[in-house]
Amino acid sequence: MDEPDFTRRLKAALLGTPDAPLAFLGNFEVEERWALGEHTLPRLSAESGAAVVNHMDEFALLLAGGDDHVVLKSAPDPVYLAYLTDLGIDLPTVHVVSDSDPRRTVTADALADPTTIAALAGLAERGVRLTAHGVSDLEEELAARAG
């Protein structure tokens, strides 16, 4: 079976070629934004739970390839990166926001960081396209500000 992997199929579907580089925004917490103002089932919540979900952005490391980029709230553990490399995973370039707040989403952190926005704008000029787990008004704002 010589079928292309998920990421190459995603790139082909989004950009018409499996070789196009992407900048992944692992904003897995976007569903919280979608639910604002909606009636939901009762649930317990705590800031610590939100902080855990807000750090799920590292899953983007597993979606991106070596020619891609990921935006993260904090730098991944070097031992973890070495482990992924030992597994044969071609790691992307990592962009870490400069002022991460555990209560904010990765998108909100990126929007608050002019350096990250400038880096994404530079990538956009080189043809790298931003892709996110889900899109809310915050991701639309980040895409607009990054070009």
Q: Is the pLDDT of residue 3 over 80?
A: no
0.85 surpassed by pTM: no
Confidence (pLDDT) at 26: 85
In this predicted model, which residue has the larger pLDDT, 92 or 57?
92
Average pLDDT over all residues of the chain: 86
Express each pLDDT in 20-32 by its tens digit: 999 999 887 766 7
> pLDDT-derived band of residue 1, with 50, 70 and 90 as boundaries?
very low
Residue 6 φ/ψ, nearest 5 degrees: -55, -45
Q: Is the pLDDT of residue 35 over 90?
A: no
3-state DSSP: the chain helix, strand, coil percent, rounded to 5?
A: 45, 10, 45
Residues making up the chain, counted from first to last: 147
Cα end-to-end span (Å), the chain:
39
Question: Which residue type sits at 24?
Answer: F
Distance between CA 25 and CA 136 in Å, rounded?
12
Percent of the chain's residues with pLDDT above 90: 60
Q: Is the pLDDT of residue 110 over 90?
A: yes
In this predicted model, which residue has the larger pLDDT, 39 or 57?
57
Q: Is the pLDDT of residue 92 over 90?
A: yes
